[in-house]
Amino acid sequence: MSLWSTIRKFGLGYCDLPTMLWNVSFMLRALTLNIDSRYKKPIPLIFYIIFALVAASYFYIYLISMAWFVFWHSRETGDLVAAMVVASLGISSEIGTAKLIYMFLYRNKVRELVDMYLDCDALVKPGSRFSNNLTKTLRNVKKRAMIFWIVIMGNGVVYVLKPLLTPGRHFMEDLFTPYGFDPVYESPNYEIVFLLMTGGVIFTCYLPANITAFLIIITGYTEGQMLALSKEMLNLWSDAQQFYLDHRTFDVGTTRPVVTLDSEQKTKKKIVNEYVKKRLHEMIKIHTTNINLLHHVERVYRGAIAIEFGILIIGLIFELLGGLENTYLEVPYALMQVAMDCLTGQRVMDASKAFEDAVYDCKWENFDVANMKTILLMLQNSQKTMRLSAGGVTTLSFSSLMMVFRSIYSAYTTLRTTMNK
């Protein structure tokens, strides 16, 4: 396969689930993490070396130096604003680390999850209406993941380029002096610190960009399946009617049905309801499979998402306390992650609600009693909205996003009042 063919697979022209999972698995291998059992080759040694160097840069700058600067250096200088800015950097950068630790701890379950999604996708008949509707949603899902990846990585690029494009010697944060490199603006200290900070930024941005993209894709697939299933429900009765027209038995050489006019309605009713019964059982299986898949996602990621929410809230509060004029490049990084998690959860809820509405609107009043009972069971199950949560504490949705914003603003105003006294 040529290099250009490989690169093209990362574009919107390839929106099938196996390719999208290959995309994110390929990117995660740079973190020495293999989440796809289809990959049999070992991760190259160079990836381990690069990852170790970048991770070491991150831990030195954004953990060790951050703690020293906030708890010791800033107390000596009395610069509270600098302490808030540096603290926000260290806290917000922990998001990717927390997610990576979870991915490593649950890597076997993550691989099982990937296999389960691939097995589910293998049951989709190519070229069918269900497959076409699923692909339409998956295109939007991949677009969502790409936008998130570009914003997070682009934020890191701008953060690194800003001091390079500013006259004189500057760092990403001029208020921040790493431990052991004073005077920091003299050579070779300046060059070493800049490289360490750049490595830390790469680590901070690359982790959440790719790990969250993986979560967007797998939950987006469930969203796509539920929306495609909703279309099937809405077309169920018309499909049954068409099935009867396509499968009536005719006399040889005539266009008249073998059955008499009196018995044709009974035969039609039987054939139509047999078709409906078969399709309903298939839809129940698809619905149940997606519920189970989402439960697996919830079990693996709920702790990581809860930690992420806590870190983001604290980080955003410190960013506001440090002043937007000092943290205007950090705020989009944090807000984008919180907003994308909530958007992902909201899309799953919306797709689940669309399926519930479709079950009710599938013209079930035309079905026989047995199929009506099946519809009643499906309606009861569909009313249990599929959702993702942050550690079981709050559901990921637009309502949760607004609640987070209110909590951040309330905490910020309280702490700002205390600081000004």
Per mean pLDDT, which range of 93-97, 236-240, 363-367, 372-376 is the poorest? 93-97
- Model pLDDT for residues 36-86, shown as the tens digit of each residue: 887 778 888 999 999 999 999 999 998 999 999 988 888 888 888 888 888
Residues 6+ apart with CB under 8 A from 94: 311
Q: Is the pLDDT of residue 258 over 60?
A: no
Per mean pLDDT, which range of 149-163, 187-201, 254-268 is the poorest? 254-268
Predicted pLDDT at 97: 85
What is the count of structural domains for the chain?
1
Q: How far from 203 is each of 172, 206, 377, 392, CA to CA, in Å?
A: 15, 5, 48, 28
Predicted pLDDT at 107: 87
Task: Give me the mean pLDDT over the 146-173 stretch.
Answer: 91
Per mean pLDDT, which range of 16-25, 76-85, 233-242, 279-288 is the poorest? 76-85
Q: Residue 230 — very low, low, confident or very high, per pLDDT cuts 50/70/90?
A: very high
Q: Is the pLDDT of residue 244 over 80?
A: yes
Residues 6+ apart with CB under 8 A from 47: 29, 30, 32
Q: How far from 228 is each of 131, 134, 411, CA to CA, in Å?
A: 8, 5, 42
Task: Give me the mean pLDDT over the 120-149 stretch.
Answer: 93
Task: Give me the mean pLDDT over the 283-298 stretch.
Answer: 92
d(CA 84, CA 39): 44
Q: How far from 86 is each of 13, 59, 91, 92, CA to CA, in Å?
A: 42, 14, 9, 10
| % pLDDT > 70, the chain | 94
Per mean pLDDT, which range of 35-49, 56-70, 251-265, 304-318 is the poorest? 251-265
d(CA 267, CA 259): 8
Q: Which domain holds residue 37?
A: 3-420
Cα–Cα nearest to 236, from 269, 278, 182, 194:
278
**pTM of the predicted structure, to 2 decimals:** 0.89
Q: Is the peptide bond before 183 cis (omega within 30 degrees of 0)?
A: yes
Task: Give me the mean pLDDT over the 385-406 stretch.
Answer: 83
Q: Residue 290 — very low, low, confident or very high, per pLDDT cuts 50/70/90?
A: very high
